[in-house]
Amino acid sequence: MLTALLVALIGLIPLAFELTDKESSNTAGFIILTSIFVFIVFYFIYTFVWVKVKKYINQINDNSKKIEEIGKTLDYKEHFHQLDKRVSALEMNMKKRGQIDPRIVIFIILLILLFLYLRNRGIL
């Protein structure tokens, strides 16, 4: 939620400069401003899709837990289930190593674009 507010603020800062000082606007500033808005739209689309995917993954995990509970009540090969849980936990730990959230990368790009825009306008 905080990053969404920061991203929106990053979009409002250059927009305010463009609306208040139209005489000094140039092509490079317009291109950077457009890039900022494109990345903001991309950020919110990615976040929307990510929330949906996360919801579906949680639903799948909940259904998997229910299936495991049903399997325990039927008492089929309890040792096999324990080994399967251990292997899946190891696989999940191996998959998570070194992953970077793409939203962080987009946020950093937005900060760089904001810096370039403010520098182009002569503010920095």
Residue 92 has pLDDT above 90, yes or no: no
Q: Provide the pLDDT for residue 116.
A: 87
Position 15, amino acid: L
* pTM (predicted TM-score): 0.55
- The first and second tokens of residue 45, run together, are 């689309």
Q: What is the mean pLDDT of residues 7-25?
A: 78
What is the residue-averaged pLDDT of the chain? Answer: 81
Residue numbers of the domain that contains 75:
2-120
Please report how many Cα atoms fall inside a 13 Å half-sphere around the Cα of residue 122, on the Cβ side: 5
Backbone angle region of 88, left / alpha / beta, with phi > 0 → left and psi within -120 to 50 → alpha: alpha
User: How is the chain split among helix, strand and coil, in percent rounded to 5?
Assistant: 85, 0, 15
Q: Is the pLDDT of residue 97 over 60?
A: no
Q: Supply φ then ψ for residue 123, to 5 degrees.
A: -80, -35
Rounded average pLDDT over 5-12:
83
The domain total for the chain is 1
Residue 46 has pLDDT above 70, yes or no: yes
Which residues fall within 8 angstroms of residue 3, CB to CB, at 6 or more apart? 103, 107
Tell me the pLDDT band of 52, cut-offs 50, 70 and 90: very high
**Residue range 6-35: mean pLDDT, rounded:** 80
- The pLDDT assigned to 65 comes to 92
> Rounded distance, CA 85 to CA 67, Å?
13
